[in-house]
Every structure is written in structure tokens, then in C-alpha cells.
Amino acid sequence: MRILHVEDETLFRQALAGILRQQPDVGDLAEASCGREALTRFRAFRPNVTLVDLQLKNDPDSLDGEDVIRELLSDFPDARIIVVSRYFGVERVRWALDAGAQSFVPKGMEPRALFDVMRSVHAGTPLIPPQLLTRARAVPKEKWLTRKQYQVLLLLERGLTHEEIGDNLDPPIGSLGVKTHVREIYQRVNANNPHDAIINALEGREPL
């Protein structure tokens, strides 16, 4: 396996690198600590499995984990990406997979289980932690967020006001339009305030 690990927490990255290098089926390992670096490294290194931390920050171009995944898959549609994330609410998992990621693992996952996922992705039959799937399947189709609503929720999570959210959408909309989206989001995720909406759809901090 040629692995690219995109992770901005240095010690986590180094620790995982140390363990990965001990695995017999790990060939070469490349690392990137920010989104811009991830794109250039991918191009040069051509890994066959890529781990991307969804909570990536520290990027000069403000590329977060979701941006990196999207850009990689847009330039390299065959890229095999595993999302690593501290938060694994149903919508977050669903949209990562929808965007083309092969699997989604919580950041606290035991290395052994992580290797199983990596090997399965490399073999072309990606494993997804069963608890994540069970939770996702519990949501009826009509309750899923649309792409736009998911975007709005992500911006809400960043702490943006309705006006700022509207400015950050493509095409931009006014705060009234955002409020309408937000009301619909609450209805779908069983919330009546942004805190609960984010907890219900994005956080997923309960132990797996």
C-alpha cells in the first residue's frame, strides 16, 4: 500500500506513521499537514490509499478537510479516500461517503481496526464501521438533509451568523433565505435550536 496521511496534529501523524511503517504491507508513506500540501503531495506521490482528517485546519488557503476531499476527487476521481474525523454525526458521515470517500472512521479508532479499513479500501471492498452504518440506516429518507441544507449546517457549526452563511453560499442568498433553510433543517433533524441541530446531525460523539 502507498499511503498518504493528511493530518495537522503532528504527534498523531507521527505516531500513526510509526505504527504504519511496522506493517508488512505498507510500502511507502507520505504525509501532509494541510490542505494545500495534501493536493501537491497527492499529485507527486500518487498513493493508493489516502487518509484525510476532516477537521483539518491551519491551511493558508483555508481548505478544510471537506474541501480537500472534494478537490482530490475532482482531480483524481479514482482516489481512495478514508475520512478520519473526531465528529461522526449521521449527516457528516453520509455526505463524506456521498462525496466519494470510500470509508469513514472515528479519530479515536484503534489502530488495528483502522488497518482493517485501510486494507479493505485498498482491496476495493471498503469496510465502514458497522455502528456508523446502523445509525445512518435509522434515518428515514425524507429526513435526510439536502446538499444545500448540509452546507448551511456546516456554516452554522462554524459559528457564522445567518447573514454570513448567506454570503458564503453559492449563489449567495439573504439571511431570510438562510432562516428558511434553518427551519427546514430543524424539522428534519428533530431540533429547535442550532446547538441541538448540530449535535443531532453532525456531532455523534457517543462512544461507538
Partner 1 sequence: MAFNNEIRILIADEHPLVRQGIVAIISAQTDMDVVAETSKSDETVRYFAHYQPDLLLMELALPTVGSGVKAITAILAESPDARIAVLSRHEGIGAILIALTAGVKTYMFRTMDTSEVLEEIRLVHAGTPRLHPKVLANINSVPREDRLTHPECEILMMMDEGLSTKEIAKRLAPYIEEATVNMHVAQIFNKLQVDNYIGALRRGINGWTLCTTPARSGH
Which one of residues 157, 184, 186, 191 is an interface residue with partner 1 (CB under 8 A)?
157
Among 21, 25, 27, 161, binds partner 1 (CB under 8 A): 161
| Minimum CB distance to partner 1 smaller for 33 or for 102 | 33
- Map the footprint of partner 1 across residues 8-37, applying CB under 8 A: 8-12, 14-16, 18-19, 33
Determine if 100 is a binding residue for partner 1 (CB under 8 A): no
Which amino acid, residue 75? D
- Return contacts of 77-80, CB within 8 angstroms, 24+ apart: 79/42, 79/50, 80/48, 80/49, 80/50, 80/121, 80/122, 80/126
CA angle 97, 102, 108 (to 5 degrees): 85
Q: Which is nearer to partner 1, 36 or 70 (CB)?
A: 70
183 near partner 1, judged by CB under 8 A: no
Give the span between the Cα atoms of 33 and 71, in whole angstroms: 16
- Closer to partner 1 by CB, 10 or 180: give it: 10
Q: Answer for the pair 98, 70: CB distance below 8 angstroms, yes or no.
A: no
Grid cell listed for 205: 460523539
Binding site for partner 1 (CB under 8 A): 8-12, 14-16, 18-19, 33, 57-58, 62, 64, 67, 70-71, 74, 107-108, 110-111, 147, 151, 155-162, 164, 167-170, 172, 193-195, 198-199
